[in-house]
Structure 1
Amino acid sequence: MILETRIVWKEPFKAVGQKIRYKPSRDIAPSENEIARLWQRFNPRCDEIPHKNGECYGLCIIEPDMHPGDAFDYVAAVGVTAFADIPEGMVADTFEGGLYAVVTRKGPIDELGATFDYYHGEWLPNSEYTCRAGAEVEFYDSRYLGNDNPESVMELWFPIRSKRELPIENRVASLFVHVSDLRRAAEWYSQLLGLPLIEERLNGGPVYWLSLPGTGIVLDSDAYNRQNPDWREEMQPLFMLAVPEIDEAYAYVVERTQVFGEIERHGSMAYFNFADSEGNSVMACWSADAGREDRLNGDSPVAAQIAGVFVDVTDMRRASGWYTDLLGLPLDEERALQAVYSVPVAKGAALLLDSNRHAQGQSFSIRCMFDTKDIQTACAYAEKQGFEFHSGIEDHGAVAFFVLKDPDGNLIMVCESRG
């Protein structure tokens, strides 16, 4: 019995288990096939696996050029928080996140074939989605009561993508930090991250950039912007979204929100700015150098990689709906009721909509978050460098963080996650 089908974004997850090569056959019941026998061998060995997170997966590794009936790799696995001491005869892998159709079904395992028939024969052809490469996942939790139990509930996750290719990517290409003294700011951020200052980027232009892995930083003096009589301070973009084709992106965005001016084209890059649901300015940018990153080995306990970009919001339901609609993503209604909503991103820094400042009546904004493996060491490093603190270490068990002020008063969080 099909209980529901929903579209969700899944984050990457780690799993450890045992693998076989399996050739599907309608002549053998699921309760008696090689996969069932694999689970019989694997279940007694689960306790050998360290760092389990309580989740259980059947992973069907579907390759792009496969056809129905082809053999595939199947992994009976448990989710883990870290890879360590992998038991003999087992495999470990990280499975990519992305968009999935999640079909929730109830019934004995021998009726599983009907679920695949429903998905491939009914739901998928009539949806706005198509298949993409990745693992098809059987997800088991406490609702699964055994192979023969008619009340057993399980989920099947099918990797999908939209049939309509959006002209804007769900990833933060760069964070903007607006500064008054470009050299001073470049020196401060380089010192924070333990990176060398690149003098040739301080060539009289209005920006200095750090091409960090995933999401870069653009330090922007706005010197050129202020020469434009039509420019206003509120047009300063918070961050940049990558677009594969600038004209298509402009036509797409202008139908949805206010755009500040026309496309600006400068050789190997082109961009425009637009307003989000809160009136924040966001840049959409095409670059011929997209994806190019500096080779960085920061000599600092603060990782030279942005973990998250914060966007303060006053209405979380409105803001989360706006961003997910813009990026063609499903809205998680439950998470939209929380104080922080993480907009799914394909890679790079998390895009974090944050209503805490508004709810608590606070006037400050935190621009971004850097990770650290040791909050005490990172804090001691910041103190030794003479950095100004906005707030000291706050330890909440699963996370601990402190907040620094850069030379222009921008607030930067440094966070240790222990989850």
Structure 2
Amino acid sequence: MSHPILPFIPAVFVPVKDLKRSTEWYADLLGRQIAPQPGQEDHGIYIFNLEGTQIILDSNTWGSPPMIMFGSDDIDASHAFCEEHPHETVTDVFRDEFVSVFHVNSHMICQTNRDLDLPKAKPAHSLLGGMSRIFIHADNLQDTIGWYEAFVGRSTEPDVKFGELPYIRMDRGAHLLIDDNRLSQSPRKFYEQLQLDMRVNPIAIIDTPDLTAALDHVRSKGAVADKGIESRLGVRFFLFHDPDGNALMVCEKVSR
């Protein structure tokens, strides 16, 4: 039997306080027209359909950490697997005509039941070329590697583009990059709802063909990028924050 959790990240959920404000901000940043799909605003989300992995702005999760969605072809098999896999929480499966989903820890597992009729991915912004990596912030590197290798049924490899940090290659879209804070060097954030201190930023890595121009661009859109261009583990990058404090890392374009 194939592994029940697919090696594919359809989306990453970004918690926002004001959906309208955040949608307008990201649309301006990414050079996209706002084209809400039926029911998106009613459900407190807005989807930016990028190349491979989507950004879902989610006002329902404000006050919680960002969340990674993994795909499944058999939601019941995935749920049974997660119940046996080490976890803090596993929710029941929610089903409607479009999707079947459940949560394990801070991740969502999703099976599509019918076509969601999302708009096709538009060409990436010339300076923000889509997500290449999603961060997993690790306190204990070996424990985290073991959990995710079993979770997606794939072995880690050294990521030669990012200081040989361990990563798990997905079939398409963004890959998982496991960082013990050597690259991010980010502070922890306290989540009162969870009563936990966690590192959550940056959420992902965005590729760019021109790092200096990309920095000028995000600053012109009101992003906070006060440290400018940095270099660490042989990687040149900058971090920027959206109006809600969510951070993304922008790196010179790397091959996957």
Tell me the TM-score normalised to structure 2 length: 0.82
Report what 1:177 is aligned to: 14
Identify the match of residue 410 of structure 1 among 218, 234, 246.
246
Instruction: Find out whether 1:203 has 2:203 as its counterpart.
Output: no
User: Could you list the per-position Cα deviations for residues 286-312 of structure 1 after superposition, in whole angstroms to 9, with x for gaps in the alignment?
Assistant: 113389662313454212x21111111
Read off the aligned partner of 1:252 and give its amino acid letter.
Answer: F
Give the distance between the partners of 1:377 and 1:318, measured in 2 at CA. 38
Write the distance in 2 (CA, Å) between the matches of 1:334 and 1:369: 13
1 CA distance for matches of 2:94 and 2:21?
28
- Matching of residue 294 in structure 1 with residue 131 in structure 2: no
Aligned to 1:345: 170
Corresponding residue number in structure 2 for 1:385: 221
Letter aligned with residue 217 of structure 2: Y
Residue of structure 2 in register with 1:307 after alignment? 132
**Sequence identity percentage:** 28
For 2:48 and 2:159, how far apart are their aligned partners in 1? 36
Deviation at 1:206, TM superposition (A): 1.4
Secondary structure of 2:177's partner?
strand
Q: CA deviation at 1:372?
A: 0.6
Which of 95, 98, 102 in structure 2 is aligned with 1:268?
Answer: 98
Flag the structure with higher strand content: 1
Q: Could you say if the C-alpha distance between residues 170 and 396 of structure 1 is closer, same or farther in structure 2, counting changes exceeding 3 Å?
A: same
Contact 2:158 2:165 in 1 (8 A): no
Secondary structure of 2:243's aligned partner: coil
In the alignment, what sits opposite 2:56? 218
Q: Distance in 2 between matches of 1:264 and 1:289?
A: 17
> Within 2, Cα distance between the matches of 1:180 and 1:292?
24
SS at match of 1:388: coil
Q: Which has the higher contact order (CA 8 A, sep 6+)?
A: 2
| Contact 1:171 1:348 (8 Å CA) reproduced | yes
Q: 1:25-174 alignment to 2 at 5 Å?
A: 164-174=1-11
Could you tell me whether the CA contact under 8 Å between 2:158 and 2:164 is conserved in 1?
no
Distance 1:418 1:215, change over 3 A: closer
Distance in 1, matches of 2:166 and 2:96, equals: 34
SS for the counterpart of 1:389 is: coil
1:213 shift after superposition: 1.5
Measured after TM superposition, the shift of residue 413 of structure 1 is 1.2
Residues in 2 aligned to 1:357 and 1:289: alpha-carbon distance in whole angstroms: 40
Q: Distance in 2 between matches of 1:211 and 1:334?
A: 26
Secondary structure, counterpart of 1:257 in structure 2: coil
What residue ranges of structure 2 are gaps of 5+ in the alignment? 189-198
Q: In structure 1, what is the Cα distance between the partners aligned to 2:19 and 2:51?
A: 22
- Max radius of gyration: which structure? 1
Q: Distance in 2 between matches of 1:293 and 1:350?
A: 23
Q: After TM superposition, give the deviation of residue 418 of structure 1 in Å.
A: 6.0
Which residue of structure 2 lines up, in the alignment, with residue 323 of structure 1?
Answer: 148
8 Å contact kept, 2:210–2:252: yes
Stretch deviating more after TM superposition (341-350 or 287-296):
287-296
How far off its partner does 1:325 sit? Answer: 1.2
Helix, strand or coil at the partner of 2:41: coil
Secondary structure class of the residue paired with 1:366: coil
Equivalent residue pairs, number:
239
Q: TM-score, normalised by structure 1?
A: 0.52
SS in 2 for 1:391: coil
Deviates more, 1:357-366 or 1:311-320: 357-366
| Alpha carbons of structure 1 residues 334 and 199: separation in structure 2 relative to 1, 3 Å | closer
| Partner of residue 85, structure 2 | 256
Question: Is contact 1:301–1:372 with CA below 8 Å preserved after alignment?
Answer: yes
**Secondary structure in 2 matching 1:270:** strand
Partner residue of 2:71? 242
The 3-state SS of whatever aligns with 1:345 is coil
